[in-house]
Structure 1
Amino acid sequence: MGVDLGTQSVRALAVTDDGRVLGRGSAPLTGHREGDRHEQLPADWWRGAADAIRQTLSALSASASASASAAPARGRARVRGVAVCGTSGTVLLTDARGVPLTPALMYDDGRAGAEARYAQETGADVWDALGLRIQPSWALAKLLWLTGAGAKSGGDTSILQGARVCHQPDFITARLVGRPVPTDSSHALKTGYDLHTRSWPTAVHDRLGLSGLDFPDVAAPGTPLGTVCAEAAADTGLAEGTPVIAGMTDGCAAQLGSGAWEVGRWNTVLGTTLVLKGVTATPLRDPAGVLYNHRSPDGHWLPGGASSVGAGALTHAFPGADLARLDRLAADREPASVVAYPLVSRGERFPFLAPDAEALTLGRPSDDADHYAALLQGVALAERLCLAYVRFLGAPIDGPVTFTGGATRSDYWNQLRADVLGRPAALPEQADSALGMAVLAAHAVTGDDAARRMVRIRTILEPRPEAGRRFDGPFVTLVDALERRGWLPSDTATYAREHG
């Protein structure tokens, strides 16, 4: 079973060894947004996770019962392992027992800009060696904001001495096991964890005034963390003793669920925002620090980045609209009369760092269909720029790019993105980060290559060259606009215009 803690919902999925989905469930999540602020309550995560798991188990039990007519005693299905993913950079503080002391600052909470600069400057020697650049969206900057340490208060953390650092999935895995457990190295990355030496940069934490915090032990993704306790079994319906497996961030989870495990393969996850992940044999060095490298369970490196462009711009601009109808209208607007860079929130993180960037529209749309088409196309153009950037850094891109995330429900948008990228696009049957966690759980409990057996490709979309050429001009227009505003570095812009 995989559990995915998203921005707007918790999703759970139960999958067989050969990739058949036997059960799924979901529960909504809400938070508090105001300006740069975005918080959620961890207790809501647990309630949502318990609801989603119970729904999944209900479907799973029905499926098992229906297939057990010849052997009624075997009608109850068994979950052999569960793994959890969450949004990258989301963090809170708890006490030693795991009880929250603060709300959770979500991945796109933008209040830690000054703290990010302070953390970057204070630990520049360490971050440069690791190829990292601390951003406002990162958990390390948020910890400085939560504690009041660093640039604004001179490092006074006395109020929260001994508080435990907790990433989003840590809260759920701790509740499942019944005690605080190690975090996974994937979520720990944006808290400054060194994947090369597999250690926390304690000297930098001291300089930042964070030495009073309890940073958790760190386990590699796929490591058993414990088993489901009696209390969690009562809340979720999972059997007591079910193995709980260390997960990965939602972007990495989607990559596992896409089947993109081989060197040279890339996956784009399009949900509220856009995440690009690939596989390389060695870490991909990025002097700008906007791309970072996770470590895969099999030892390869997973370079990638998270953009603030995404489908969230559609729900903001067209709340409650019939998106299927708008898709049909957008098909007649290729290209739209305007060019957009549809940021979901203030600031951009990848493929360039611009904390003050705002959503961009060049021109005035003629009507709603034109506006909607420009947003769809703008996300696709941003995706094209992301792929150009990783090629600029020397990364190989082989075979189709795999599309996952909630946006893959739109057949029109899938084809548009393939056309704009000029590359084939592979669409798995299950475009869900929860599948990636089910794959990881299977990998942990069986020890074999679960991804090749469990990931089923539904279709491969071929790009239409004549359609793709329509967007060459808008792409250059967008690159020029981003460069003029000082957001996109000139060397990246030059490469994108010539090779993007």
Structure 2
Amino acid sequence: MSDALSPDAVHIGLDLGTQSARAVAVDGTGRLLSAASRPLNSRRDGVRHEQEPEQWWSSLAAACREALTGIAPQRIRGLAVDATSGTVLLADAGGAPITPGLMYDDRRADTYADRVNASGAGVWEKLGYRTMQPSWALPKLLWLLDDLARPGAAGLPSGTRLLHQADLVTWRLAGHQLASDASHALKTGYDLIDERWPEAELDALGVPGELLPDVVRPGTVIGTVCARAAEATGIPAGVPITAGMTDGCAAQIGAGALSPGAWNSVLGTTLVFKGASSHLVRDPGGVVYCHRGPGGTWLPGGASSSGAGVIARRFPGSDLDTLTARAAATGGTAVVYPLAGAGGERFPFRAPDAVPFTLGAACGEAEEFHACLLGVAFVERLCFDYLDHLGAPVGGPLTFTGGGARNRYWSQLRADVLGRPVGIPEQAESAVGMAVLAATASGATLDEAATAMVRLREDLRPDLARTARLLPVYLDFVDELVRRGWLEQSAADHAHGKAAQ
């Protein structure tokens, strides 16, 4: 496999997040050699969330130059790029943006979702997620096309191309358009089973076929770095470019959660779950969807609207270390339903009318804080119970990543509620996952690369006595979700059955 997994080899991971563009250099043993980031600016106005695509490239190029300072060019073996899921734009025939980037959570296209779901119902059913959510890329593409066609607008220039966020970067790196990856193309309607665009359905929606990029599986070498990009980034010309994945899948690779039954739970502003399965997981509720993994596996997952964002909303400016210590001393069992925003849930159930609530008495700041920590842990357990209810394999290794995993008490509490061991990776982030994927360009399989490059910082073991003590509180929480009409009784019954095992 050449020297891809040796200390001599360097693999580059590039990550476009919501707030920053990040570049990392990782050697073949998983040692993080360097990292750099640059901020990204957003424009938010009600349901709209835009970014300037040119800044994606300029910020990422600057981060690359810094991260590669002092690294011998001959050591660099490859790169891969991840970006936010469902972020799209339109570009002209030369790759210059003609629209802003409509970000993953932009909701201006909500009214297009019904058309998309009526036209593609058969395909979306086959792919297991049943319906597209309004913030997915295909409804936004229809909005962009209609916006360019409105009276007084410029119209659709000849040669216009749809680009996912990562596609703009790979175009600049190679100097010409490269194939998109199936992970970023999923929310635009790409058929992951037949591995093609669903032409009849897209044609019925008025999407010109020539607008759409070619698509390949993640992990495919799609091009090489051109001389102009080498000058801008410091990445040597000729370095292979590997088709990447969305940021959630990239974090999953960085955590090493790749064997069937393995899961990575990412606790950031919201909870994001990514797992691995040997089969496509279909969800009648439409809240779980599958990516296709680089090695032919399926990667089921879901994104909750609950998570650590509840802490920022309720305790702005607080010293969280001190608050955690005080909360731990309370041992409280009150529970806050921990929505990160004002309302609406996406996973493990879909409830646009869901709002935060509290079960039990939380007296004072420390008890309220603990109730929020416990609420996130309960939502996390319910997500796994729901995944098990669907037939997804959930019994493999579990890792925690994201900013919330840095709070050790919270991580232990989550492990106790789940009643299962948890690993905390040493360097689990999306950019590192892309460095692991980039190593496959040099001949390693993804499993080999992950085994060599993903390191665990800590293993947490559950306190099973605490698990048993909290189980009735968890089930009361589940029953309250049913009582409010948000969670299906069958899902709650499954959670009760799992608790009784």
- TM-score normalised according to structure 2 size: 0.90
Question: Is residue 91–residue 161 contact of structure 2 (8 Å, CA) maintained in 1?
Answer: yes
Code of the aligned partner of 1:28: P
Q: Are residues 1:29 and 2:40 paired?
A: yes
Residues 276-321 of structure 1, C-alpha deviations (whole Å, 9 max, x = no match): 1111111112122221111111111111112222223323433443
Q: Are residues 1:164 and 2:175 paired?
A: no
Code of the aligned partner of 1:463: P
Code of the aligned partner of 2:197: W
Partner of residue 225 from structure 2, selected from 222, 225, 228: 228
Question: Is residue 403–residue 425 contact of structure 1 (8 Å, CA) maintained in 2?
Answer: yes
Question: Is residue 339–residue 345 contact of structure 2 (8 Å, CA) maintained in 1?
Answer: no
The equivalent of 2:5 in structure 1 is none
The equivalent of 1:244 in structure 2 is 241
The equivalent of 2:21 in structure 1 is 10
Count matched residues.
Answer: 482
The equivalent of 1:491 in structure 2 is 490
Question: Is residue 282–residue 300 contact of structure 1 (8 Å, CA) maintained in 2?
Answer: yes
Report the alpha carbon displacement of residue 161 of structure 1 after superposing the two structures with TM: 6.7
The equivalent of 2:378 in structure 1 is 381
Question: Is residue 260–residue 396 contact of structure 2 (8 Å, CA) maintained in 1?
Answer: no
Residues 427-454 of structure 1, C-alpha deviations (whole Å, 9 max, x = no match): 1111211111111000122233211111
Q: Which runs of 5+ in 1 are unaligned?
A: 65-74
Residues 409 and 288 (structure 1 numbering): CA distance in 2 closer, same or farther, change over 3 Å?
same
The equivalent of 2:334 in structure 1 is 337
Q: Are residues 1:20 and 2:6 paired?
A: no
Residues 437 and 407 (structure 1 numbering): CA distance in 2 closer, same or farther, change over 3 Å?
same
- Take 2:208 and 2:380, find their aligned partners in 1: how far apart are those partners? 39
- Take 1:93 and 1:334, find their aligned partners in 2: how far apart are those partners? 52
Q: Which runs of 5+ in 2 are unaligned?
A: 1-11
Residues 49 and 479 (structure 1 numbering): CA distance in 2 closer, same or farther, change over 3 Å?
same
Q: Are residues 1:324 and 2:321 paired?
A: yes
The equivalent of 1:472 in structure 2 is 471
Question: Is residue 310–residue 338 contact of structure 2 (8 Å, CA) maintained in 1?
Answer: no
Q: Are residues 1:143 and 2:141 paired?
A: yes
DSSP 3-state at the match of 2:434: helix
Residues 272 and 229 (structure 1 numbering): CA distance in 2 closer, same or farther, change over 3 Å?
farther
- Take 2:354 and 2:92, find their aligned partners in 1: how far apart are those partners? 36
Residues 482 and 236 (structure 1 numbering): CA distance in 2 closer, same or farther, change over 3 Å?
same
The equivalent of 1:481 in structure 2 is 480
- Take 1:32 and 1:246, find their aligned partners in 2: how far apart are those partners? 28
Q: Are residues 1:47 and 2:58 paired?
A: yes
Question: Is residue 23–residue 64 contact of structure 2 (8 Å, CA) maintained in 1?
Answer: yes
- Take 1:312 and 1:488, find their aligned partners in 2: how far apart are those partners? 22
- Take 1:271 and 1:459, find their aligned partners in 2: how far apart are those partners? 19
Code of the aligned partner of 1:141: P
Residues 433 and 262 (structure 1 numbering): CA distance in 2 closer, same or farther, change over 3 Å?
same
Residues 390 and 57 (structure 1 numbering): CA distance in 2 closer, same or farther, change over 3 Å?
same
Question: Is residue 178–residue 229 contact of structure 1 (8 Å, CA) maintained in 2?
Answer: yes
The equivalent of 2:277 in structure 1 is 280
Report sequence identity in percent. Answer: 53
Residues 336 and 32 (structure 1 numbering): CA distance in 2 closer, same or farther, change over 3 Å?
farther
Question: Is residue 240–residue 441 contact of structure 2 (8 Å, CA) maintained in 1?
Answer: no
Q: Are residues 1:128 and 2:139 paired?
A: no
Matches within 5 A, 1:93-492: 93-132=90-129, 133-148=131-146, 159=156, 162-211=159-208, 214-335=211-332, 337-344=334-341, 346-362=343-359, 365-448=362-445, 449-492=448-491
Question: Is residue 341–residue 361 contact of structure 1 (8 Å, CA) maintained in 2?
Answer: no
- TM-score normalised according to structure 1 size: 0.90
Residues 303 and 244 (structure 1 numbering): CA distance in 2 closer, same or farther, change over 3 Å?
same
Aligned CA-pair RMSD:
2.4
Residues 348 and 141 (structure 1 numbering): CA distance in 2 closer, same or farther, change over 3 Å?
farther
Code of the aligned partner of 2:467: G
Report the alpha carbon displacement of residue 179 of structure 1 after superposing the two structures with TM: 2.0
- Take 2:359 and 2:93, find their aligned partners in 1: how far apart are those partners? 51
Code of the aligned partner of 1:24: A
Question: Is residue 335–residue 470 contact of structure 1 (8 Å, CA) maintained in 2?
Answer: no
Residues 115-163 of structure 1, C-alpha deviations (whole Å, 9 max, x = no match): 22221122212221222221112111221232338xx99xx99546753
Question: Is residue 307–residue 338 contact of structure 2 (8 Å, CA) maintained in 1?
Answer: no
The equivalent of 1:69 in structure 2 is none
DSSP 3-state at the match of 2:50: strand
The equivalent of 2:75 in structure 1 is 78
- Take 2:60 and 2:73, find their aligned partners in 1: how far apart are those partners? 21
The equivalent of 1:88 in structure 2 is 85
DSSP 3-state at the match of 1:331: helix
